[in-house]
Amino acid sequence: MYEILKSSTFDSWLRGLSDRDAKARVEVRIRRLSLGNPGQFRSLKGGINELKIDYGPGYRVYYTFKGKTLILLLCGGDKSSQSKDIRLASEIAASWET
């Protein structure tokens, strides 16, 4: 089982989701991720991973691993903001390491 930490950026994004069903689906995926079952995801450069949630506009959760037991949730978004969100996730991951 992984410990999950959320960046303030991710936490703000999740709290700001007005669609309760979408929020519930994101939370279920995070729980599954903590158990080692990411479901549909892809690895991006720099150790960033993207959880794909096929609901609504295509929600995305960006995360990275720290060590063998810790997952950092970096930021979230949807398909329309994907490029911007990937850049932001990389910046958050880099700042977390300093």
* pTM as predicted: 0.93
Reduced to 3 states (helix: H, G, I; strand: E, B; else coil), residue 48 is: coil
CATH superfamily of domain region 3-97: RelE-like (3.30.2310.20)
- Parse the chain into domains and list their residue ranges: 3-97
Retrieve residue 44's tokens.
Answer: 């991006």
Residue 93: CB atoms within 10 A of its CB come to 20
pLDDT at 67: 85
Residue 63 has pLDDT above 60, yes or no: yes
Residue 68 has pLDDT above 60, yes or no: yes
